[in-house]
Amino acid sequence: MSIIAFDLGASSGRALAGDLKGNRIQIKEIHRFSNGPIQRGGHLYWDIDHLFAQIKQGLAKAKSMGKEPDSLGIDSWAVDYGLIAQGRLLQAPYHYRDHRTDGVMDRVGEKIGRSEIFSRTGIQFLPFNTIYQLAAMGEQEPEVLIKAERFLMIPELLRYWLTGEMISEFTNATTTQLVHEATRTWDVELISRLGLKRSLFGSLVQPGTPAGRLLSSVSAELGLGTIPVMAVGEHDTASAVASVPAMESSFAYLSCGTWSLLGTEVDQPVTGRKALDLNFTNEGGVGGKYRLLKNIMGLWILQELKREWDRKGQIYSFEEWVALSRQAPAFASWINPDDPAFLPAGDMSVRIREFCLKTKQQAPEQPGEFARCILESLALQYRHVLEQTELLSERSFPGLYMVGGGIRNELLCQWTANAIGRPVWAGPIEGSAIGNLAVQWIGTGEIRDLEEARTIIRNSFAVREYEPAQGPQWQEAYDRFCGLGGM
């Protein structure tokens, strides 16, 4: 009995078929496709029709491979949404890196109070959180909000087109910064203080809840049965964390992809002053947990740098970029990857150079120097955030679990181990998709709970251990990194 996970990332999406045999999961990639922003009229949107078409294509391919699924689930990046009226999508969903939210977080923060928003929601302040996207809409296109009847996040919208049912899912909803951390449902008071309609937001279901079946129009088009659809941990990071093959109840993880999400799982949100000051988040997790973590800008900076060189016609593969960085001089210059300058798309090399000059460092010039600067800075920032996680959770971690596509970058895994001075345990690569599958099996009762899922994942996928090396050099680098201005 196969099931399918659709995992949509900001730069690519994939469909994985999963089979559970005893206590082993087998996966097969059915379909992979690209994803990215569409620029129109000076704004960035997602090509949601392309994404829906790719989901249907994935289902058609599954059938042709003899893997007609018995269940399917969709996870994606967080915060973005579509608005529905009269059953129809009102406009293409905006991309979270669109600049229409510039300055909005500060205005909302002044109106409602940052500490009030944080104590209610437990969610970190990121300028693209849904709360600020909706506030930007209220300022710039209020007519859309007046017309809208229903708010659906990206996986919910795609699921709605598959099943005809509008069902909102908990883990992804928490990333809006509109869900109350204690009641675990929409914060009605916050919603009304923002001037938003309560009726936009439907009640929330937990990951592992059945969420309808394929519409007969869809199943007829694809020649499939009316396959059941399940709400999974629809925030990709919730699915990725569910896939961490840890046996211990308390552990630190890093979900490594376009973004790097580093933190630990907790039973209760950590919403005190320290968490607010360090800008940590408590996103909803699978199995009733919270994800105490922090967003680190991640491999996005290198991906954008690569695109910049691609545009200039100097095209290196991602592996070549990593190889170039290995050859460049060590510990020459660093950036604070979480400086807001690195959030929007565009000319990363200019911003990296500006950061280095501003902080009195030598600015990189060659591709390998830029790449080395980025990868070392990420590894050093991982240490910084790992230590903050320990401080906030009052725990200490003997090592760091890494999951996600970023662990293909062995150099980054090794440098992470070096920077933190502890082992890194890397795997599985397809963390989000595997977490998505696991939650479907929990939903159908084939796996008991999250703990059993992690044991099965541990048993099914290779985990590579990286031992820390070059301790004194990395320690010295870390001390200098922490002393950089602009951190």
The contact set with ligand LFR (CB under 6 A) reads 9, 77-79, 96, 235-237, 257-259, 261, 295
Place of tokens 């989901």: 55
Give ∠ CA 153-223-233 in degrees, rounded to 5.
25
Q: How far is the CB of 255 from ligand LFR (least distance, A)?
A: 7
* Residue with smaller CB distance to ligand LFR, 235 or 351: 235
Alpha helices in 141-252 (DSSP H): 142-147, 154-163, 170-174, 188-193, 216-222, 236-242
Strand ranges (E), 9-148: 12-21, 24-34, 37-40, 43-46, 72-76, 81-85, 88-89
* Residue with smaller CB distance to ligand LFR, 295 or 389: 295
Catalytic residue among 7, 80, 187, 236: 236
Distance CA 295, CA 301 (A): 13
Classify strands 150-153 and 168-169 as parallel, antiparallel or unpaired. Answer: unpaired
CB atoms within 10 A of CB 455: 16
* Residue with smaller CB distance to ligand LFR, 297 or 484: 297
How far apart, in Å, are the Cα atoms of 306 and each of 79, 299, 336, 416, 431? Answer: 26, 11, 19, 21, 24
Q: How far is the CB of 315 from ligand LFR (least distance, A)?
A: 25
Active site residue 236: yes
Nearest C-alpha neighbor of 387 from the set 271, 278, 283 = 278
Place of tokens 């150079």: 353
* Residue with smaller CB distance to ligand LFR, 135 or 484: 135
Distance CA 427, CA 401 (A): 8
Q: How far is the CB of 335 from ligand LFR (least distance, A)?
A: 20
* Residue with smaller CB distance to ligand LFR, 10 or 417: 10
* Cβ partners under 8 Å of residue 124, min gap 6: 279, 280, 281, 294, 295
Q: How far is the CB of 214 from ligand LFR (least distance, A)?
A: 26
Q: How far is the CB of 368 from ligand LFR (least distance, A)?
A: 27
Catalytic residues: 236
